[in-house]
Amino acid sequence: MNLKSLPLGILGVALGIGGMITYSLRPDWLWVVTIAEGLALVCLVLFFVLHFETVKAFSTRRATRMGLNSLLMIVLFSGILVIMNFLASRHSIRWDLSENQNFTLAPQTHRVLRTLPHDVKITVFTREKDPGYQAFKERLESYRQASTKLSVEFVDPEKQPKLAQSYGIFRTDTAIFESNAQTIRVTSPSEVELTGALIRISKDAKKRIVFVEGHSELSVEDKDRNGLSIAKEALTRQGYDVGTVSLLKESAVPDKTSVLVLAGPRRSVTKDEQERIKAYVDNGGHLLLLADPDTQTDLEPMLAHWGLGLGPGVLVDLQDRLAQGDLTALLVRTFTEHEITQDLTSAVLLPLSRHVTFDEQVGKDWDFVPLARTSPNSWAETNMQGRVVSLSEKEDVKGPLPIAAALTPKKAPEEGKPRPAIVVIGNSTFVSNAFLNFPGNSDFFLHTTGWLAEERDLISIAPKEPALRPFTPNPTQERALIYIQVVFLPLITLLTGIIVWRKRRRL
């Protein structure tokens, strides 16, 4: 072997290994890696050309042929592994084995990703040692695989402080969404936050949801148990613009109001206000009314205009109610087929509710669809004095009764005109801060607002968050569990012990 040409082989191997190391450390230096690997290929080719006769003589030996077969098998096996890894990197398959399918994207998230109008760049400022790094990485990888319009980049703010400063980053675990000259900042790796950011950034204009004030309604700014601050936050995450209005001061419902919400008024709504609400709905507006029992709102004339009504008394259900709770704490499980209820899987807790009525003669031009009903073992109690509740055939209204209903005109509107819609729910407390996090309540509320706002993609964002999903039995299930756990199982254990004792005694 010519010693003068030996450095060519050593240089080729060194350049090849150096190029691979450089690519693993700095993948952005692609031009350096390309030059190094190209020079390595040239050096190795020249080395084998200069030593062709030596290689030919070496290959004719018997030991060489035997070793060459083994080397060929190793090369082929290595080639198979390289090809499999290449295909896996391009078409990866992921199995979600986490609790509650934490990294499986919700159907609504897939719909949002499929309909993205613009490319979205996501820059995550985090470090590998930060608590949110792995969660951001795993979840955004699922997003990126579901849409080619997403690009994700992870930046260590300590290694690139100028870039972090240009984005105004003052804390780690922050994701910046950029698209169509808009920027949205997210500080949580949850699917709710990430999908909400995609929804907001992909829309040129936000739909506006307006809550009526002036009648002691639940307030969207109130953070106490009876407030709606959590509901407002949930709507904001869904991409809505949430505001308030006083129809006592305004002569009409504000323009560009997608949904008008009356959230549990406690005082009378004046005739002028009702006329403004009627005009808004008749012109294609969307109304959500949350009405509680034992309140004097004087809304009957306005509701009667569409054939609607609010039934008397308080709903009592001996079957679908919260176990060990009051008879009026309804745990509604019976839903009808409707866009609002199609994806509901959890019961909705509605404490102290009333039922909704409909006059088909007056509302003959409207399509009335009950969304949720009480069980057949229920009624509307008109006399709650003394709290001794029992069904009175003469005074009470026997169930099942609709507790929520949707109303739309049977005739399609003229082309270019919006279609009015109304949803009436006989309870407002289920949306409050104290109950909105109950399984089913937030879904029902967001389904309803999404349908009214005609945002089909925003109906039901159902993220798979690690959360306690308690089993909430009704009274019948509760009694069955007590009998099984307290009576039946101990009795079986006792009988088994006696039988075993008697058999051993006879031995």
Write out 346-372 in H/E/C secondary structure. CCEEEECCCCEEECCCCCCCEEEEEEE
Q: Does 1 fall in a domain?
A: no
Question: Are 244 and 214 in contact, with CB atoms under 8 Å apart?
Answer: no
Separation of CA 436 from chain center: 15
Q: Does 45 fall in a domain?
A: yes
What φ, ψ does residue 478 adopt, rounded to 5°?
A: -65, -45
**Over 60: is that where the pLDDT of 99 sits?**
no
Separation of CA 333 from chain center: 21
Q: Which two tokens stand for residue 334?
A: 């019976």
Q: Would you put residue 75 in left (φ > 0), alpha (ψ -120 to 50) or beta? A: alpha
Domains identified in the chain, total number: 4
Which of 145, 234, 148 lies closest to 190 in space, CA to CA?
234
CA distance 140 to 126: 13
301 and 412 assigned to the same domain? yes
50 and 132 assigned to the same domain? no
Amino acid letter, 19 = G
**Over 60: is that where the pLDDT of 463 sits?**
no
The helix (H) or strand (E) run that includes residue 310 is strand 308-310
> Residues near 363 by Cβ (< 8 Å), separated by ≥ 6?
306, 307, 308, 407
Q: Does 464 fall in a domain?
A: no
Angle subtended at Cα 439 by Cα 115 and Cα 227, rounded to the nearest 5 degrees = 90
232 and 325 assigned to the same domain? yes
Report the percentage of the chain scoring pLDDT > 90.
30
315 and 412 assigned to the same domain? yes
Q: Does 465 fall in a domain?
A: no
Position 215 scores a pLDDT of 92
CA distance 479 to 487: 11
Q: Would you put residue 440 in left (φ > 0), alpha (ψ -120 to 50) or beta? A: left
Report the percentage of the chain scoring pLDDT > 70.
80
77 and 167 assigned to the same domain? no
17 and 53 assigned to the same domain? yes
Position 387 scores a pLDDT of 56
pLDDT digits (tens, 9 = 90+) for 341-350: 876 778 899 9
- Give the three-state DSSP class for 212: strand
Q: Does 433 fall in a domain?
A: yes
252 and 401 assigned to the same domain? yes
Residue scoring higher pLDDT (7 or 221): 221
342 and 430 assigned to the same domain? yes
Which of 407, 179, 396 lies closest to 309 in space, CA to CA?
407
CA distance 134 to 189: 9
pLDDT digits (tens, 9 = 90+) for 188-207: 787 877 887 888 788 777 78
CB-based burial label for 346 (10 Å; 0-12, 13-18, 19+): middle
Position 329 scores a pLDDT of 86
> Residues near 400 by Cβ (< 8 Å), separated by ≥ 6?
334, 373, 374, 375, 376, 378
| Range in 53-57, 286-290, 377-381, 451-455 with the lowest mean pLDDT | 53-57
What φ, ψ does residue 10 adopt, rounded to 5°?
A: -65, -40
290 and 220 assigned to the same domain? yes
**Over 60: is that where the pLDDT of 47 sits?**
yes
To which residue do tokens 């798979």 refer? 464
CATH code of residue 144: 3.40.30.10
**DSSP codes, 462-506:** -------------HHHHHHHHIIIIIIHHHHHHHHHHHHHHHHHH
Structural domain span for residue 392: 205-458
Position 147 scores a pLDDT of 86
CA distance 278 to 270: 12
pLDDT digits (tens, 9 = 90+) for 428-444: 999 999 999 887 888 89
Once rounded to an integer, what is the mean pLDDT over residues 248-267? Answer: 93
CATH code of residue 399: 3.40.50.880
Position 262 scores a pLDDT of 95
